[in-house]
Amino acid sequence: MTTAQEPLDPALRVEALASLLAERGLIDEGTVSKFIATYEQSVGPMNGAKVVAKAWTDPEYRERLLADGTAAIGELGFKGPQGEHIVVLENTPQVHHVVVCTLCSCYPWPVLGLPPSWYKDPAYRSRVVREPRQVLREFGLELGESVEILVHDSSSEVRYLVLPERPAGTGGLTEEELAGLVTRDAMVGVAVVSAP
Amino acid sequence: MDGIHDVGGMQGFGRVQPLTADPPFQHRWEGKAFAIGALAARIAGTNLPAFRHAIERVPPPEYLRGYWNRWTMGAQLMMEDSGIITDEQVRARAARLSGQDVAEPPDPEPHKPQMEITGPGNLRELDTAPAFAVGDRVRAAADVHPTGHTRLPRYVRGRTGTVAAMQPAAVFPDSAASFDGENPQHCYTVEFDSAELWGPDAEPFRLTIDLYEPYLEPAR
């Protein structure tokens, strides 16, 4: 990478690297498949949705979650890389939290999995710290003028999870049904949760 | 470094991408890229801040070519730096995989920095008292342009905010990325008013960012 050369196709670069590293025993197909399967199947926003639904239905859990996010999330078995210290931000009718990582794409993996494309894209990272209301509007979220926006740039080892507001009219739903309503986007703060 | 990665507040990137429910990997090679990057620090004898810094050093046109591209190139760069692999080898192997009959260059001589962060994660207990407390007014360092890794983005440098919360002390990324030891530091959530960051015509909002103690000085 020291001289200017024709760019390599990214997929081809990955294949070349993988084959070079495998040949020397530095990676193997089994480990690679395990990484992929973990984040395709076990670790994703369904974990965070369970945390949110529990906080909506169990006031004591909600308190623990807001006081020590890492521990309360750990109670449900969600821990691991990029989840060493998780702070939970509660959205209210007055304050709306939204999370970004301007310098890279830090994200709370144990509860949300790997970040989606829009979160990693320079458009989101550059703009949400400068014109969040406009960015949220582009995403389709129109907040009332009285709602204060609080943007969180994840620049250290702290990771943030937004606890969205429970939608009205969901009093009769079970915790599991509520979890089914909670979206990844709402837990980053670029959307709200809607009743079914 | 003042690189392409430090995009906070930059203009010209256009509209945000639509909110789609895309899976973590759209193609198999992206999953493979993820695994290579996730293992690269261990293979190279480095650490996560060094990996972030390697991604920052990917040339801007390649950085902007997509997330998994910069991720993979960062991983490669870090392994090049440790003498695990050379770019010539990767290009030769790519050519061979494409059906060309080219010679494979020899393996480089490994020289791993052996600055892996193997402790229990990145959080550390510090004996020294924190310099600031919740409610203190602090100013982010103004005239700093480190050539190495930093988690102090340009858009807050020289700006004054208020300590909103204490966070656990942690390995200082700036030191770890350059293999100068863990040098753990206190960390603070600092809150800024949007007008302080972007001027009086800015949208009204508040912003918090987590800053390590060496980035901060007292302010009134």
What's A85's domain CATH number? 3.90.330.10
For the record, the structure tokens of B183 come out as 């040098």
A101 shares a domain with A32: no
A23 shares a domain with A94: no
Tokens 């078995």, located at residue: A77
Touching A: B residues 16-35, CB under 8 Å: 16-25, 27, 29, 31-35
Minimal CA–CA distance to B149: which of B39, B54, B44, B34?
Answer: B54
Residue A2 lies in a domain: no
pLDDT band at B113 (very low <50, low <70, confident <90, very high): confident
Nearest chain A Cα distance for residue B136, angstroms: 19
pLDDT of the residue at A68: 98
A78 shares a domain with A25: no
pLDDT of the residue at A2: 46
| Annotation says A104 is catalytic | yes
Looking at chain B, the whole-number percentage of residues with pLDDT higher than 70 is 98
Instruction: Determine contact: A70 vs chain B, CB below 8 A.
Output: no
Mean pLDDT across the stretch B99-123? 86
Contact list, B59 vs chain A (CB under 8 Å): 1
Centroid of chain to Cα A171: 26
pLDDT of the residue at B115: 75
pLDDT of the residue at B114: 79
Contact list, B165 vs chain A (CB under 8 Å): 87
A96 shares a domain with A181: yes
B20 has pLDDT over 90: no
Low-confidence ranges of chain A (pLDDT < 70): 1-4
Residue A174 lies in a domain: yes
ipTM higher than threshold 0.90: yes
Q: Please judge whether B197 and A129 are an interchain contact, meaning their C-beta atoms are less than 8 angstroms apart.
A: yes
Residue count of chain A: 196
Into how many domains does chain A fold?
A: 2
Q: Could you write out the three-class secondary structure of A61-109? A: HHHHHHHCHHHHHHHCCCCCCCCCEEEEEECCCCEEEEEECCCCCCCCH
Candidates A19, A33, A42, A104; catalytic one: A104
Indicate where chain B has its CATH 2.30.30.50 domain(s). Answer: 137-218
Minimal CA–CA distance to B205: which of A150, A94, A145, A93?
Answer: A150
Minimum Cα–Cα distance from A25: chain B residue = B43
A108 shares a domain with A141: yes
| Annotation says A156 is catalytic | no
Instruction: Determine contact: B104 vs chain A, CB below 8 A.
Output: no
B24 has pLDDT over 50: yes
Gyration radius from chain B CA atoms: 20
A157 shares a domain with A90: yes
* Average pLDDT of every residue of chain B: 95
Contact (Cβ atoms closer than 8 angstroms) between residue A73 and residue A49 = no
Contact list, A120 vs chain B (CB under 8 Å): 67
Beta bridge partners of residue B193, listed in sequence order = B206
The CATH fold of domain B137-218: SH3 type barrels. (2.30.30)
Q: Please judge whether A1 and B87 are an interchain contact, meaning their C-beta atoms are less than 8 angstroms apart.
A: yes
Mean pLDDT across the stretch B166-185? 95
| Annotation says A101 is catalytic | yes
| Annotation says A42 is catalytic | no
Helices (H), chain A: 10-23, 29-37, 45-57, 59-67, 69-75, 109-112, 117-120, 122-127, 132-138, 175-179, 184-188
A32 shares a domain with A90: no
A97 shares a domain with A15: no
pLDDT of the residue at A6: 81
Nearest chain B Cα distance for residue A152, angstroms: 5
Contact (Cβ atoms closer than 8 angstroms) between residue A61 and residue A135 = no
Contact list, A7 vs chain B (CB under 8 Å): 61-62, 65
The CATH fold of domain B1-116: Cyclin A; domain 1 (1.10.472)
Residue A123 lies in a domain: yes
A101 shares a domain with A35: no
First to last CA, chain B: 28
Q: Please judge whether B206 and A150 are an interchain contact, meaning their C-beta atoms are less than 8 angstroms apart.
A: yes
d(CA B15, CA B84): 40
Residue A1 lies in a domain: no
How does pLDDT run across B117-143, given as a tens digit for each residue?
Answer: 656 689 999 999 999 999 999 999 998
Pairing relationship of beta strands A148-153 and A95-100 according to DSSP bridges:
parallel
Beta bridge partners of residue B191, listed in sequence order = B162, B208
Minimum Cα–Cα distance from B31: chain A residue = A36
Q: Which domain holds residue A20?
A: 10-41
Q: Which of A19, A26, A44 is the closest to B93 by Cβ?
A: A19
